[in-house]
Amino acid sequence: MPPRKGRTALTRAELDSWRAFIETTEELRTAIEGRLQSDSGISAGDYRVLLELSEAPERRMRSSHLADAIGWERSRLSHHLGRMEKRGLIAREAAKGDNRGAEAVLTDEGRDALRRSSVPHFHAIRELFLDALTPEQLAAARDLAETLSGHLAGKRGATAP
Amino acid sequence: MPPRKGRTALTRAELDSWRAFIETTEELRTAIEGRLQSDSGISAGDYRVLLELSEAPERRMRSSHLADAIGWERSRLSHHLGRMEKRGLIAREAAKGDNRGAEAVLTDEGRDALRRSSVPHFHAIRELFLDALTPEQLAAARDLAETLSGHLAGKRGATAP
DNA sequence: CCAATGTGGTTGACATGTCAATTATAGGCG
DNA sequence: CGCCTATAATTGACATGTCAACCACATTGG
């Protein structure tokens, strides 16, 4: 029988492809995050939280629901909400049905910060990402994302159920 | 004339592709870094530094050269080398020709840590990345990396020369 | 009812990253 | 030589991320 996948050492081409891919996506991420920070004074984490809250009913969400929605650990979210609260971007209130719980609420200031950031952020996405790619490449990027995302989801379920 | 690139708002498909791509690559990165940390007790930053030093003549490099090679700011490297030195993975020595300079040297312990980490790390790359992709998708990933990397390099030169 | 266990969330300790300021030396030039 | 500017690297302050420990309330079985 042929060797199974995952059994053989990496070829030079495989290693090169991996390094190019991971280093470039990392570079892209920091470039976009840097633009967001310098254009609008908010971090990528801030943006992610603001966006999710802005789309929630009444602009509020249970902490654990928010953490699930953006794929963060609860501890990370708790620290981040603390920092955002200190800056007035969100507020924290006790949850209605469960006295253990907390809800994060988007403040007017947070909503304004999100609005102000959107146009420059979209501009950066276009300039640094979309403008670089042909339609075929963009489709390939999406295909890659969906394939890898599905693969990772399977691994997560398989190794830590 | 047709509207220039970068002038129009993002379409839904463009935004969805961007989000899928950036969030998935981020997830992949943290997954691989987590494996490296739990398998071998070293961070992605440690690995990057150890690898670069291990391939340098006499396993030593000037700080600024090392920073350029791995694309880090010197301040970041200085902090990181300080932590690695404390753990015995590298040592710092004065540069020969220039009394301002510092050289980072790979210690035996650092070399051993790199060796021990390689097999599990390659295994993780295969399992979480290569195994997910068809040969065509891997080629597409490499093509995307090269296109985006070139594009970003152009932007860097254009906006901060 | 109430003790054991589970769940939601916070906290503290520490690793990592960025930015601006600082220190020390090099090199050019009057 | 002695000043001026540039370069190499470090430092401090602070934002962010992870992990493990913890607190408070909820739930449930006897």
CB B98 under 7 Å to nucleic chain C: yes
- How far away is chain A from the Cα of B142, in angstroms, using its nearest Cα? 5
What would the pLDDT profile of A32-69 be if each residue is shown by its tens digit?
A: 999 999 999 999 999 999 999 999 999 999 999 999 99
End-to-end CA distance of chain A: 31
* A137 to chain B: closest CA residue: B144
Structure tokens, A133: 């790619």
Q: Is A134 within a domain?
A: no
Q: Which run of H or of E encompasses B139?
A: helix B135-159
pLDDT tens series, chain B, 161 aa: 555 555 678 999 999 999 999 999 999 999 999 999 999 999 999 999 999 999 999 999 999 999 999 999 999 999 999 999 999 999 999 998 899 999 999 999 999 999 999 999 999 999 999 999 999 999 999 999 999 999 999 887 654 44
CB A95 under 7 Å to nucleic chain C: yes
Pairing, β B60-62 against β B102-106: antiparallel
* A127 to chain B: closest CA residue: B6
Q: Which run of H or of E encompasses B64?
A: helix B63-70
Q: Is B91 within a domain?
A: yes
Question: In chain B, which residues have their Cβ closer than 8 Å to the Cβ of A130?
Answer: 10, 14, 18
Tell me, what CATH number does B116's domain have? 1.10.10.10
Q: Is A156 within a domain?
A: no
Q: Please give the residue range of the domain that contains residue A65.
A: 13-128
Q: Do A20 and B142 touch (CB under 8 A)?
A: yes
* B16 to chain A: closest CA residue: A142
Q: Give the model's pLDDT for residue A155.
A: 81
Question: In 3-state terms, what secondary structure has residue A91?
Answer: strand
The number of residues making up chain B comes to 161
Q: Mean pLDDT score of chain A, rounded to an integer?
A: 93
Looking at the C1' of nucleotide D24, which residue has the nearest alpha carbon?
A: A100
Q: Is A48 within a domain?
A: yes
Q: Is B80 within a domain?
A: yes
Q: Compare CB distances from B20 to A127, A149, A152 and report the shortest one's residue.
A: A149
CB B100 under 7 Å to nucleic chain D: yes
- How far away is chain B from the Cα of A111, in angstroms, using its nearest Cα? 20
Q: Which run of H or of E encompasses B105?
A: strand B102-106
Q: Do A128 and B152 touch (CB under 8 A)?
A: yes
Structure tokens, B14: 């463009």
Q: Is A51 within a domain?
A: yes
- Nucleotide closest in space to B65 (CA vs C1'): D8
CB B41 under 7 Å to nucleic chain D: no
CA pair distance B158, B161, nearest whole angstrom: 6
Q: Is B86 within a domain?
A: yes
Total number of domains constituting chain B = 1
What would the pLDDT profile of A58-99 be if each residue is shown by its tens digit?
A: 999 999 999 999 999 999 999 999 999 999 999 999 998 899
Q: Is A133 within a domain?
A: no
